[in-house]
Amino acid sequence: MTMSNEEIITPSTARARKTSGSGFRGAEARGPIIDQEGREIRPEALGPQAGGLRFNFGASRANPFADLTREQRLARLDALSKLLDVAFIVPGTNIRYGVDGLIGLIPVVGDIISTAISLWVVREARALGAPWHLTTRMLGNVALDGVVGLVPLAGDAFDVMFRANVRNVRMLRRWLDKQPR
């Protein structure tokens, strides 16, 4: 059945209220399962995988959100802080900078992005059990880095020299070393 342009532009109220008529109301589909050749397939023949599409990472190492050990979380935070603050060296000097300094070159948006990543480091520290006074100091470092980073050239130089993420991970590691395991 072809529709005229008028029917497409202004749908009738009868057609607009019409439902699909499929009768699907529950969590599983009803009716026969048909293969490509038109033959009916019994649900038992499909096996347990026919229950739907599910992602089950379980204890797999492929799951980035799996329960990590304390050492694994610290290693991840340490790697992230080094990437953000000291990953590269200015050629011919001993000055180190990271992705945080590069992202910070984008006015306002770059500083917001780098501050958000730094806040994730503080969140992970809190998940590791860091007390409120430590996370407050870490938040102070992130806030100082974010606010001063908003200043056009001087803020970028401050980002390179202050290294808030490395400081925060170092403070967290010192606190964790004092705690019993």
Q: Look at residue 38 in the predicted model and tell me its pLDDT.
A: 74
CA distance 146 to 51: 48
Residue 47 — very low, low, confident or very high, per pLDDT cuts 50/70/90?
low
* CA 5 to centroid of chain Cα atoms: 46
Residue 63 within any structural domain of the chain: no
Q: Look at residue 142 in the predicted model and tell me its pLDDT.
A: 96
Residue 36 within any structural domain of the chain: no
Residue 137 within any structural domain of the chain: yes
Q: Look at residue 175 in the predicted model and tell me its pLDDT.
A: 95
Residue 17 within any structural domain of the chain: no
Is the pTM above the cut of 0.75?
A: no
Tell me the pairing of strands 40-41 and 33-34. Answer: antiparallel
CA distance 99 to 84: 5
User: Poorest-confidence range of 9-13, 35-39, 92-96?
Assistant: 9-13
Give the start-end residues of each E strand in the chain. Answer: 33-34, 40-41, 88-89, 96-97
Q: Look at residue 18 in the predicted model and tell me its pLDDT.
A: 47
Residue 174 within any structural domain of the chain: yes
Q: How many domains does the chain have?
A: 1
> Under a CB-based contact definition with an 8 Å cutoff, are residues 145 and 164 in contact?
yes
Q: Which domain holds residue 162?
A: 70-178
pLDDT digits (tens, 9 = 90+) for 11-38: 555 444 444 444 445 455 566 777 777 7
Residue 171 within any structural domain of the chain: yes
CA distance 68 to 102: 30
Assign 40 to helix, strand or coil. Answer: strand
Q: Look at residue 1 in the predicted model and tell me its pLDDT.
A: 55
Residue 16 within any structural domain of the chain: no
Residue 116 within any structural domain of the chain: yes
CA distance 148 to 166: 17
What dihedral do alpha carbons 80, 82, 86, 87 form, nearest 10°? -70
pLDDT digits (tens, 9 = 90+) for 122-163: 999 999 999 999 999 999 999 999 999 999 889 889 988 999
CA distance 112 to 146: 7
